[in-house]
A and B are shown apart, each in its own frame.
Chain A
Amino acid sequence: MEFKDYYKIMGVPRDASQDDIKKAYRRLARKYHPDVSKEANAEARFKEIGEAYAVLRDPEKRASYDQLGTNWQAGQEFRPPPDWDAGFEFSGAPFTDAGASAYSDFFESLFGGGFGGGTRSRRHAGFRARGEDHHAKVVVDIEDAYRGAARTITLQSPQVDDAGHVSVKRRNLKVSIPKGVKQGQRIRLAGQGSPGIGDGPAGDLYLEIALDTHELYTVVDRDVYLEVPLTPWESALGAKIKVPTPAGPVDLAVPKGTANGGKLRLKGRGIPGTPPGDLYVVAKLTLPPADNEAARALYRRMEKELAYNPRRKLGV
């Protein structure tokens, strides 16, 4: 595993005060928080910052991290020295609301075991409570949003055993994605969260829908946009053409005189719902290439017979 330089991640010197560390964290969190940031790597950066802060904000963890010394470089292959944390006493309170799996292997190797692991089971001894709700994201194709689908998802969740060791447990779930899901909507799976404590009921699992991008379609809310190339004669004279939709091809009547960039609305052919979205066909005029004599002759004939000057309004 790679060594992580938490001071470098936070952009503070090794002798920074707790106050400076807090300020640095707030500043970075405002910049990279996935709720407010549109930086491409916001989620990964925010996790990294959260991990660095979880260590540096806590004087006990910071002291033991500092004990590793200053010779380590970020990214260097790292093995914790044996008994590296001997002589340190840790209070058991959980340091963060995030699950342990939110942190790197590096963090787990240092703080995953005796650091407050196991408190969970201890805290709840002789206690009955509903298990925690869990949250996860599932990526769904546009076609799935139209038709509904069954998706197999793999979830990872941290497990704490009786000795306080944290491990990551994987499980697969086959989930039905209902027809008509929108970006950002959630599906609630009752009883698929953490198991209950005592004889309490299990928590729920919330799956957030993320619509995958598509090479043909752009989705905005429930509306779907599709660019469709047209020939000059289809655009000028009108035509009946076939266009793809996520629900399968449909016949489209192109009205005569459809301009380049003109939009044709197929009402109710967007993502299903009440009301369903619309599908917009954006017309894109294309010119046949003049790459053979017959084509060139046709263009020359148009030039002669159409007397068309698109620059008349420019007065030249």
Chain B
Amino acid sequence: MTDKVLNGILIDERIELTLHDLEHACACSTEWVLELVDEGVLEARGDDPRSLRFGGASLARALRATRLKRDLGLNLPGIALAIEMLDEIEALRVQLRRIEASDLDQ
């Protein structure tokens, strides 16, 4: 092991990802990422596939979509629905955590 500290890039909303980045990270095909865009699971800027740009949040969504397909055998509309509902559950959990955090422990 070396003592060199590796500096990574934080994937946040200021980061732009390419189609190539996403297909590599998910170990999936270009077509699959484009299908996710068509279904509205991923949002992209640009028209020509080579110039498509994705926000940082797309990485987690693309990974999740790929896992749902691989592990649960969901089809594309099923994945889109599941991800919307999971987003909603997550938003509700955040609200719940806020309420719990503001409440005094007994």
Instruction: List chain A positions with a Cβ less than 8 A from chain B.
Output: 26, 29-30, 33, 35-36, 46, 50, 97, 130, 132-133, 135, 150, 171-176, 178, 180-182, 184-190, 192, 203-204, 206-207, 218, 220-221, 223, 225, 227, 260-261, 263, 280, 282, 284
When C-beta atoms are compared, the residue in chain B nearest to A173 turns out to be B6
- Contacts across chains A and B counted by CB atoms under 8 Å: 105
Query: Which residues of B lie under 8 Å from residue A135 when comparing CB positions?
Result: 25, 63
Q: Is the CB of B72 within 8 A of A29?
A: yes
Complex CA distance for A97 and B97, rounded to whole angstroms: 35
Which 4 residue pairs of A and B lie closest in terms of their CB atoms, listed nearest first? A225-B101, A187-B8, A218-B101, A172-B1
B55 → chain A closest CB, angstroms:
13
Q: Is the CB of A174 within 8 A of B6?
A: yes
Q: Is the CB of B5 within 8 A of A175?
A: yes
Assuming A33-B71, A36-B86, A280-B102, is B7 touching A133 (CB within 8 A)?
A: no
Q: Is the CB of B10 within 8 A of A178?
A: yes
Q: Which residues of B11-32 have CB atoms within 8 Å of chain A's CB atoms?
A: 11-12, 24-25, 27
A10 → chain B closest CB, angstroms:
15
A197 → chain B closest CB, angstroms:
14
B45 at the interface (CB under 8 A from A): no
Q: Is the CB of B68 within 8 A of A176?
A: no
Q: Is the CB of A282 within 8 A of B67?
A: no
B47 at the interface (CB under 8 A from A): no
Query: Which residues of A lie under 8 Å from residue B68 when comparing CB positions?
Result: 33, 35-36
When C-beta atoms are compared, the residue in chain B nearest to A130 turns out to be B24
B48 at the interface (CB under 8 A from A): no
Q: Is the CB of A33 within 8 A of B72?
A: yes
Complex CA distance for A218 and B11, rounded to whole angstroms: 23
Complex CA distance for A183 and B76, rounded to whole angstroms: 27
Complex CA distance for A36 and B102, rounded to whole angstroms: 27
B42 → chain A closest CB, angstroms:
16
Query: Which residues of B lie under 8 Å from residue A221 when comparing CB positions?
Result: 94
Query: Which residues of B lie under 8 Å from residue A192 when comparing CB positions?
Result: 6
Complex CA distance for A282 and B86, rounded to whole angstroms: 30
Q: Is the CB of B60 within 8 A of A187?
A: no
Q: Is the CB of A171 within 8 A of B1?
A: yes
Complex CA distance for A261 and B59, rounded to whole angstroms: 39
Q: Is the CB of B27 within 8 A of A261?
A: no
Q: Is the CB of A35 within 8 A of B6?
A: no
Other 8 A-B pairs with CB < 8 A, given A176-B7, A218-B100: A35-B67, A132-B24, A135-B63, A174-B5, A182-B12, A188-B8, A206-B11, A220-B101
Query: Which residues of A lie under 8 Å from residue B101 when comparing CB positions?
Result: 218, 220, 225, 280, 282
Q: Is the CB of A26 within 8 A of B6?
A: no
Complex CA distance for A132 and B26, rounded to whole angstroms: 9
Q: Which of A97, A188, A227, A282 contacts B9 (CB 8 A)?
A: A188
Complex CA distance for A29 and B73, rounded to whole angstroms: 10
When C-beta atoms are compared, the residue in chain B nearest to A218 turns out to be B101
B82 at the interface (CB under 8 A from A): yes
B73-106 Cβ-contact flags toward A at 8 Å (1 or 0): 1000000001000100000001001101111110
Assuming A186-B60, A187-B10, A187-B11, is B104 touching A204 (CB within 8 A)?
A: no
Q: Is the CB of A50 within 8 A of B6?
A: no
Complex CA distance for A35 and B82, rounded to whole angstroms: 10
Assuming A174-B3, A185-B12, is B82 touching A36 (CB within 8 A)?
A: yes
Query: Which residues of A lie under 8 Å from residue B105 when comparing CB positions?
Result: 227
Q: Which of B10, B63, B64, B94 contacts A220 (CB 8 A)?
A: B94
Q: Is the CB of A260 within 8 A of B104?
A: yes
Q: Is the CB of A50 within 8 A of B71?
A: yes
List 22 interface pairs A-B (beta carbons < 8 Å), by A numbering.
Answer: A29-B72, A30-B72, A33-B67, A33-B68, A35-B68, A35-B86, A50-B71, A97-B27, A132-B27, A173-B6, A174-B4, A174-B5, A176-B5, A176-B6, A178-B8, A185-B11, A188-B9, A190-B9, A206-B59, A220-B98, A225-B98, A227-B104
